[in-house]
Copies of this chain bind each other. A is one copy, B any other.
Amino acid sequence: MEPNASSYSSHSFVEIAMEVHKVVPPPHISTIHKLKTRLKETFFPDDPLRQFKGQPLAKKWLLGAQYVFPILKWGPSYNLTLFKSDIVSGLTIASLAIPQGISYAKLANLPPIVGLYSSFVPPLVYAVLGSSRDLAVGPVSIASLILGSMLREQVSPTKDPVLFLQLAFSSTFFAGLFQASLGFLRLGFIIDFLSKATLIGFMAGAAIIVSLQQLKSLLGITHFTKKMGLVPVMSSVFHNTKESMRKPRLFWVSAGAPLASVILSTVLVFALKAQHHGISVIGKLEEGLNPPSWNMLQFHGSYLGLVIKTGLVTGIISLTEGIAVGRTFAALKNYQVDGNKEMIAIGVMNIVGSSTSCYVTTGAFSRSAVNHNAGAKTAVSNIIMAMTVMVTLLFLMPLFQYTPNVVLGTIIVTAVVGLIDLPSAYQIWKIDKYDFIVMLCAFLGVIFISVEEGLAIAVGLCIFKVLLQITRPKTVMLGNMPGTNIYRNLHHYKEAVKIPGFLILSIEAPINFANTTYLNDRISRWIEDYKEEEEEELKKHSGLRFVVLDLSAVSAIDTNGVSFIKDLRKALEMKGLEASETKKHHFKYSFLFLVNPIGEVMEKLQRADETRDFMRPDFLFLTVGEAVAFLMSTVKGQSSNHV
């Protein structure tokens, strides 16, 4: 059945002891070519042009159009069966999108109708440009929350509602511009810097802040702090509780579907005429579709900095959610979403949205899950949802007149409490304590400082950890696994044994400016340790002869690293000479040996080395086993010559 494999294995797994394989320099590649490869790996790791290769021109044009507008790909083969699935799921998510849209707009301190506008235009744009089949787009809690709280720090939504709305649309424009640019410039990997730990901490912190803010609705506190952050919120609650506390009029905690609570509460308010008894309701909402809003965008003036900052933060956060949700469902259904293309789709959606009275939208996790479970097959479910919202906007707006605000507060709290993910937090605690600290910092930073700073601190800590790992790379001493020529960490594999006369070290990080000083110190200490140990063992063997550096795990090297290897070699040669003078040993071999440097490292060593010392066959080895075997044989050869 596997003739190749079996005939192959029959001759290849015979190890000839002491055989030494030549370490060859990697094939020569020009700098331009290397640059090209590097750029391609950095910006096009998914190789989007691969499908174009070897196709006729017409086909290439079609593929190109399909690449830009994925609807052209699945549109032609769309059929009634798919449509049936999509109409069910579309209506289902619409029933979720309408109350959520109104609630989240309130969360962002915007008029409730803006939430409905934002559930109409963006889904249509996404249906044309997006490549995910399950993503249900619309306003989401976290982006609404950030947008509202960041703008509210400088402008009051109650005192200056028009300016606030202008700033919200402008922020949406910049969020979209930023998202589309990231995708277009293939810089999508920037969102990777928001690690899982950061996001979990951040979302939990934001959820707590939002829940506290909703005390405003639930407890009926009217004078509420403009700032986010636990301390001002708490003191505001405390003060208001004393000053203007009125007993909570309705404490609706619904576990049912948002639409059900909206309908039920609206009917109740209407029937009981509760709006005349102090229950605040949404009030009259204008009928009609999205009015244009491009004349409201602000590209200058004193608030430009604020809207750019708000756009950046909401843009990156909503992008993270959208991309993550898209990837999750694509993995479930085993199809691919192109991260950078999705970013362009979401970005364009927000740019268009900012001109049509929509605020920041993205793919929402809860709604996409519902969409997926209701059997959505294509982006047509988004179109169905948009149509439903359109009908609502055109004809059903009077129905929301009596919807009590408190039910919207409840919907918000229910939604955001779901953002607190304790099992994941526990899992992080179990796996990686540092990640747990990052999570905690994101959480506490958002609660006690601010959204942006909490996020910045967590991202900074993640990067600091990476830098610290590089500044203090792991260097481990290797020993031989008895009966093999495998060498492994002595601390990990207790059965591994040291080879007398050898110090075998493995460096497990790139060698660069950030760690050469440390590596120098550390290796000096290993050598001194070795000498001390030797004295203790009563000079049973004749001392340290060879330092073997296993460079297999050194993924890169820079000029500082090359100097480090050269200097270490010189220093050890000097010490080796001294030792051989005092002890009357004469080795023609140097003291430092390198094992298995990867192509790039070997090439750089070679270029730094005019005398071709590094490429001498008695200096470079393919495996630690071969180095040890070869060096031992030279020692034995020499000692027999001396005798």
A-to-B contact residues, CB < 8 Å: 1-2, 4-6, 8-9, 11-19, 21, 24, 26-27, 31, 35, 41-42, 45-47, 189, 192-198, 327, 331, 334, 336, 339, 427-428, 430-435, 462-463, 465-474, 476, 480-486, 488-489, 491-494, 499-501, 508-510, 512-518, 521-522, 524-525, 540-542, 552-553, 555-556, 558-560, 562-563, 567, 571, 574, 596, 598-599, 604, 607-608, 622-623, 625, 628-629, 632, 635-636, 639, 642-643
Partner of A467, one of B427, B463, B522: B463
User: Which B residues touch A474, using CB under 8 A?
Assistant: 555-556, 598
Q: For the complex, give the distance between the alpha carbons of A401 and B635 in Å.
A: 70
Partner of A2, one of B19, B193, B542: B542
Whether B598 and A508, one on each chain, are in contact in the complex, defined by CB atoms closer than 8 angstroms, is: yes
- Given the known A-B contacts A431-B604, A555-B553, are A8 and B525 also in contact in the complex, defined by CB atoms under 8 Å? no
**A-B contacts, 30 listed (Cβ < 8 Å):** A5-B541, A9-B629, A12-B483, A12-B485, A14-B15, A14-B483, A15-B15, A15-B17, A15-B484, A31-B433, A35-B433, A42-B468, A189-B518, A192-B513, A192-B515, A192-B518, A194-B513, A195-B560, A334-B574, A427-B608, A431-B608, A432-B558, A462-B513, A466-B470, A466-B510, A474-B555, A474-B598, A476-B598, A489-B598, A508-B553
Whether B608 and A9, one on each chain, are in contact in the complex, defined by CB atoms closer than 8 angstroms, is: no
**Smallest CB-CB separation from A563: which chain B residue?**
B196
Whether B512 and A571, one on each chain, are in contact in the complex, defined by CB atoms closer than 8 angstroms, is: no
Whether B622 and A555, one on each chain, are in contact in the complex, defined by CB atoms closer than 8 angstroms, is: no
User: Which B residues touch A574, using CB under 8 A?
Assistant: 334
Q: For the complex, give the distance between the alpha carbons of A562 and B349 in Å.
A: 34
User: Which B residues touch A540, using CB under 8 A?
Assistant: 4
Whether B513 and A6, one on each chain, are in contact in the complex, defined by CB atoms closer than 8 angstroms, is: no
New A-B contacts (20) at CB < 8 Å, excluding given A197-B559, A466-B510? A1-B642, A2-B542, A4-B540, A12-B482, A14-B483, A15-B15, A42-B471, A45-B472, A189-B517, A192-B518, A196-B563, A198-B513, A334-B574, A427-B608, A435-B558, A465-B558, A466-B467, A469-B556, A492-B599, A508-B553
Q: For the complex, give the distance between the alpha carbons of A194 and B629 in Å.
A: 40
Whether A17 and B14, one on each chain, are in contact in the complex, defined by CB atoms closer than 8 angstroms, is: yes
- Given the known A-B contacts A15-B484, A18-B13, A541-B5, are A559 and B42 also in contact in the complex, defined by CB atoms under 8 Å? no
CB distance from A186 to the nearest CB of B (A): 12
Q: For the complex, give the distance between the alpha carbons of A484 and B336 in Å.
A: 39
User: Which B residues touch A19, using CB under 8 A?
Assistant: 484
Q: For the complex, give the distance between the alpha carbons of A108 and B431 in Å.
A: 53
CB distance from A535 to the nearest CB of B (A): 14
Partner of A471, one of B17, B189, B482, B567: B189
User: Which B residues touch A430, using CB under 8 A?
Assistant: 607-608
- Given the known A-B contacts A5-B500, A486-B622, are A480 and B512 also in contact in the complex, defined by CB atoms under 8 Å? no
User: Which B residues touch A599, using CB under 8 A?
Assistant: 489, 491-492
CB distance from A395 to the nearest CB of B (A): 44
Whether A510 and B469, one on each chain, are in contact in the complex, defined by CB atoms closer than 8 angstroms, is: yes
Q: For the complex, give the distance between the alpha carbons of A8 and B497 in Å.
A: 11
Q: For the complex, give the distance between the alpha carbons of A339 and B494 in Å.
A: 34
CB distance from A115 to the nearest CB of B (A): 31
User: Which B residues touch A432, using CB under 8 A?
Assistant: 558-559, 562, 604
User: Which B residues touch A486, using CB under 8 A?
Assistant: 21, 622-623
Partner of A12, one of B480, B513, B571: B480
Partner of A195, one of B427, B494, B509, B513: B513
Partner of A492, one of B26, B516, B632: B26
Whether A500 and B8, one on each chain, are in contact in the complex, defined by CB atoms closer than 8 angstroms, is: yes
CB distance from A522 to the nearest CB of B (A): 6
Q: For the complex, give the distance between the alpha carbons of A512 and B196 in Å.
A: 10
Partner of A635, one of B5, B521, B555, B596: B5
User: Which B residues touch A4, using CB under 8 A?
Assistant: 500, 540-541
CB distance from A622 to the nearest CB of B (A): 6
Q: For the complex, give the distance between the alpha carbons of A27 and B558 in Å.
A: 34
**Smallest CB-CB separation from A485: which chain B residue?**
B13
User: Which B residues touch A542, using CB under 8 A?
Assistant: 1-2
- Given the known A-B contacts A26-B491, A432-B604, are A499 and B8 also in contact in the complex, defined by CB atoms under 8 Å? yes
Q: For the complex, give the distance between the alpha carbons of A16 and B17 in Å.
A: 11
User: Which B residues touch A467, using CB under 8 A?
Assistant: 463, 466
Whether B514 and A466, one on each chain, are in contact in the complex, defined by CB atoms closer than 8 angstroms, is: yes
CB distance from A348 to the nearest CB of B (A): 22
Whether A13 and B629, one on each chain, are in contact in the complex, defined by CB atoms closer than 8 angstroms, is: yes
- Among A189, A522, A540, the one with the most B-chain Cβ atoms within 10 Å of its Cβ is A189
